[in-house]
Amino acid sequence: QVQVVESGGGFVQAGASLTLTCTAPITIFSISRGYWYRQAPGKKRELVASIGDRGGTEYAQSVKGRFTISRDNDKRTFGLLMNSLQPEDTGTYYCSVRNLWGQGTQVTVSS
């Protein structure tokens, strides 16, 4: 089956960094835009960042300058480098590609 899998979440203190990784099958990775979403407790799922097949990126205003989305076409992965994490970044982070979703990885940032 086609599966999208996220990893890299954890429990950190404010100011720390985390790198999330999303792995997608080759059949859907190529010529596809990858998306990172997050959902905080009590809030709707929001788009954090996306990256196109040729590397073009878009970011939510709340993470600009702190988060960096990337893609590795050889490893078939989407990455999300999160710097200067704050408590408001807490939530479940999801990877999406070709309308397929992973199960999510939890990021918790304490003050």
Alpha-carbon distance 42 to 22, whole Å? 24
Task: Give residue for tokens 């490893």.
Answer: 75
Which stretch of DSSP H or E encloses residue 26?
helix 26-29
Those residues whose C-beta lies under 8 Å from the C-beta of residue 111, and which sit 6 or more positions away, are 13, 14, 87
- The whole-number pLDDT of residue 6 equals 97
pLDDT of residue 90: 98
Question: Which helix (H) or strand (E) element contains residue 29?
Answer: helix 26-29
Give the least confident one: 21-25, 29-33, 46-50. Answer: 29-33
pLDDT in the model for residue 30:
79
**pLDDT at position 1, please?**
65
Query: How large is the average pLDDT for residues 69-93?
Result: 96
pLDDT at residue 18 above 90? Answer: yes
27: pLDDT confidence band, cut at 50, 70 and 90? confident
How far, in Å, CA of 71 to CA of 73, rounded?
Answer: 6
